[in-house]
Amino acid sequence: MNETLNVIKSRRSIRKFTEKQLQEEDLQAILEAALFAPSAGNAQPWHFTVVQNKALIDELAQTAKDAIVAGGRSPYQEMAQREDFHVFYHAPTIIIISGNPKAGFIHADCAAAAQNILLAAEALGLGSCWIGLVMMILHGEQGAAWCKKLEIPAGYEPVHVLALGYKAQAKIPAPERKKNCINFIR
C-alpha cells in the first residue's frame, strides 16, 4: 500500500508521551507540513504558536482542568477531577493554531493545517493528540490574558491545539470504522 495511505491509517491519538523534547529538525519538518496545507483562496490565515516551556504548558493544563471541574456540566468533569489528569497528557510540545477571522474559513483552513501536523508527526514516528478541552479557556473570560501570555498575534484567535511528543505507549489498534456512511451517485 502507498506510504501516505499507511500513515493516514496508522495515526492514532496518543495520550502517553515520554519527557524527551522533539528534535528541532522534526519540529521544523512538522511546521513546514502545516504551511503546505490547503486554504480557501490560498489565504493561509494561520499562525502557529509552538510552546515547549513545561511550566507554561502545565499552567495552561491546570487552568483548563480547574475550569472543567468548576463548569459542573461537562462530560469530562469526572476525568478532570482525577489528580493525575493533564489536559495535554504531559506532552513536551503543544502547537496552538490561530486564525485570522477576516479570512472567512479559518476553522476549515486551520483544521487542514492541524491534520497535516498530525500526519507529519506520525510519518516521523512521533505521537500527537488533538486537544479540544483547552479551547474553553482560550475563548472564555481568561482568553485575552492567555492569548497575550502565549504571544498570539493581535487579530488572530486560537482555533486548534495539538499535543506532540515521543510515544510512550505501544501501537494502538484502529477502532472499528463506521459502516454505511458512503453512498454513490453515478
| Number of domains comprising the chain | 1
Which DSSP letter does residue 90 get?
T
Q: Which of 166, 103, 164, 94 is nearest to 135 (CA)?
A: 94
Question: Does residue 181 fall inside a structural domain?
Answer: no
Question: Does residue 22 fall inside a structural domain?
Answer: yes
Give the global pTM.
0.94
Task: Encode burial over 34-53: b for 16+ CB neighbours within 10 A, e otherwise.
Answer: beebebeeeebbbbbbebee
Q: Could you tell me the residue range of the domain that residue 133 belongs to?
A: 15-165
For the chain, 186 residues long, give each residue's pLDDT as a single digit of tens.
699 999 999 999 999 999 999 999 999 999 999 999 999 999 999 999 999 999 999 999 999 999 888 877 778 888 888 889 999 999 999 999 999 999 989 999 999 999 999 999 999 999 999 999 999 899 988 899 999 999 999 999 999 999 999 999 878 888 888 999 999 999
CATH code of the domain containing 139: 3.40.109.10
